[in-house]
């Protein structure tokens, strides 16, 4: 959520994005530690655990063609899609910056250059949509398994609430992508 909010500031232009958004983040104390322990390792753990349960679950979509049975599969497929998107995305940003440190001075220009390619833009739109659906549906199932939403009514209402959150995040993410194209 923070990352999408951060990137939605692309609409203020390159100077604001490079100095106020990226510049501020790059000067954070203990940045490499935060990147490894707060971003990379939790994502890798989540991906590894996700791949493990992917092989152990069963859903008979043909016999029980219910909405949430469809979402059960969407959750798993989106997980794989996000993993592939992240490999490409982190490669095109964080890893690329390691080879070419000058990009750091103008990450806005770098994203502008990348997103002007329709293939890369499509990859970002798909990666973004998969991520927000995965988050919304993941929070919905988490509320059930943690005993927060127990009744069918509360599960139905929370589903609308979490899908609303997904839609909001999708709009903010698309707004951010749009800002880089200006």
Number of residues that bind ligand HEM (CB under 6 A): 22
| Neighbouring residues of 176: CB distance < 8 A, sequence distance ≥ 6 | 4, 7, 8, 9, 10, 11
- Of 22 and 133, nearer to ligand HEM (C-beta) is 22
133 near ligand HEM, judged by CB under 6 A: no
Cα dihedral 95/48/59/155 (nearest 10): -80
**Alpha-carbon gap, residue 90 to 81, rounded angstroms:** 14
Given 3, 64, 87, 150, the residue binding ligand HEM (CB under 6 A): 3
Given 47, 74, 90, 172, the residue binding ligand HEM (CB under 6 A): 90
172 near ligand HEM, judged by CB under 6 A: no
127 near ligand HEM, judged by CB under 6 A: yes
20 near ligand HEM, judged by CB under 6 A: no
Among 143, 172, 166, 133, residue whose Cα is nearest residue 2: 172
81 near ligand HEM, judged by CB under 6 A: no
Q: What is the DSSP letter of 30?
A: T
CB contact at 8 A, 5 and 169: no
CB contact at 8 A, 146 and 176: no
Smallest distance from the beta carbon of 7 to ligand HEM, in angstroms?
A: 4
Determine the interface stretch with ligand HEM among 55-63, 69-77, 122-130, 147-155 (rule: CB under 6 A).
122-130
Given 9, 14, 69, 93, the residue binding ligand HEM (CB under 6 A): 93
| Neighbouring residues of 106: CB distance < 8 A, sequence distance ≥ 6 | 14, 18
Binding site for ligand HEM (CB under 6 A): 3, 7, 22, 25, 35, 39, 82, 86, 89-90, 93-94, 97, 107, 111, 124, 127-128, 131, 173, 176-177
């Amino acid at each position: 959520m923070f990352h999408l909010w951060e990137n939605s500031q692309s609409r203020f232009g390159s100077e604001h994005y490079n100095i106020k958004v990226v510049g501020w983040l790059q000067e954070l104390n203990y940045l490499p530690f935060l990147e490894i322990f707060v971003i990379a390792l939790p994502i890798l753990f989540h991906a590894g655990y996700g791949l493990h349960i992917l092989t152990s679950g069963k859903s008979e979509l043909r016999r029980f063609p219910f909405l949430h049975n469809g979402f059960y599969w969407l959750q798993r497929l989106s997980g794989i899609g996000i993993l592939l998107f992240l490999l490409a995305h982190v490669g095109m940003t964080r890893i690329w910056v390691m080879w070419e440190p000058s990009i750091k001075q103008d990450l806005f220009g770098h994203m502008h250059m990348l997103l002007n390619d329709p293939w890369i833009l499509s990859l970002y739109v798909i990666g973004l949509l998969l991520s927000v659906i995965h988050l919304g549906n993941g929070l919905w199932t988490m509320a059930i398994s943690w005993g927060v939403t127990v009744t069918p009514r509360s599960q139905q209402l929370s589903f609308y609430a979490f899908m609303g959150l997904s839609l909001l995040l999708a709009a903010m993410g698309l707004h951010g992508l749009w800002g880089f194209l200006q």
